[in-house]
Amino acid sequence: MDGITCFITNDMTIPQEQVIQKYREKNKIEEAFREMKSQLALRPIYLTRPERVKAHVTICILAYLLINSIEMMLRKAEITQSSEELLRQVSSCRLNQVGLKNSSQRSLTITEMTDQQEKLVKLFSCEKMMKPKVINQFNNFLL
């Protein structure tokens, strides 16, 4: 009986395709934790205060949710690249603080984006964030 799988459910209203799909999705949580451990560097950490451990794990879970959201948006837009490739592409885009020597005045600029980076900005609806007025609001955090 190799290669044969039997599915049993007590809900007869669910179409058989959906039953099969749910079975295939059963490992999603385990895969999520495996991915968090590898991609997000969720490793044994040596923190002594429980609130710091909770904060670290919370940040890792939020990062995982962000990566999943990015991948869903990429699939929806029928873009085949992975979230890792996307992050690699945008990693060269930087926020730069520029100022003159002997002057306290500073301004912020973004490195010139490639065509692909601009497409991604539009895909994720981040055009407003790239405007100088919004960028310069970050000045308060950097000073």
Paired residues of 13 in beta bridges: none
29/43 Cα distance (integer angstroms): 17
Q: In 3-state terms, what secondary structure has residue 107?
A: strand
Last residue of a domain, one of 68, 87, 106: 87
54 shares a domain with 69: yes
- Boundary-marking domain end, from 49, 72, 87: 87
Predicted model pTM: 0.57
Residue 80 lies in a domain: yes
Kindly list the distances between the CA atom of residue 53 and the CA atoms of 13, 48, 50, 70, 120, in Å, as whole numbers in the listed order: 44, 8, 5, 26, 33
What is the C-alpha separation between 43 and 34, in angstroms, rounded?
Answer: 11
11-42: pLDDT as tens digits: 889 898 888 888 887 777 677 777 766 666 65
Domain boundary among 71, 87, 103: 87
pLDDT digits (tens, 9 = 90+) for 2-19: 778 888 888 889 898 888
The count of domains in the chain is: 2
Question: pLDDT digits over 43-61, tens only?
Answer: 667 788 889 888 888 888 8
Residues 77 and 33 in one domain: yes
Structural domain harbouring 124: 94-142
Beta carbons within 10 angstroms of residue 74's beta carbon: 19
